[in-house]
Amino acid sequence: MSSTPSTIRKATPFDATGPRAQIGVIGPQGRLEAVVFVLIAQFWYSSEYHLEELLVYVDPECRKSRHAIACVGWMKSLADELKIPLLTGIISKERTAAKIRLYDRMLPRIGAFYFYPQTDMELVKPESVMGQPPKRLKVA
């Protein structure tokens, strides 16, 4: 399928000439507690659209709140409303295992990310990934 405006309109449940990105914000005016940035995108090899998460951030002071759950829930509801799949993930060096466990509770897993070389960090693989108690791995 070509990406002409007429074929995009037929193939998508949204107005392809209108906004193709949204930013969700949590917090009172003047204080950003959490933010989500998503856009409607396509992979280079496909004419199918998906909702792609570019950023989910929760302020460190608010990480014991339910803001991260609200952010993922908002992305899921937006994908449902648009009738396109959501693509989101975790690329992080801090509290990675906890983030993976949260996403595992809310979303189906479809793959993994890898980063090379990385020698200055300690990784923790969560139980939900390995099927056994968390294990510390020193990256050499």
Q: Where are the domains of the chain?
A: 5-88
Structure tokens at 132: 């056994």
Q: Which CATH superfamily is 5-88 part of? A: Gcn5-related N-acetyltransferase (GNAT) (3.40.630.30)
Q: What's the predicted TM-score (pTM) here?
A: 0.72
Q: What is the pLDDT of residues 14-25, one digit of tens each?
A: 566 667 899 999
pLDDT at site 83: 94
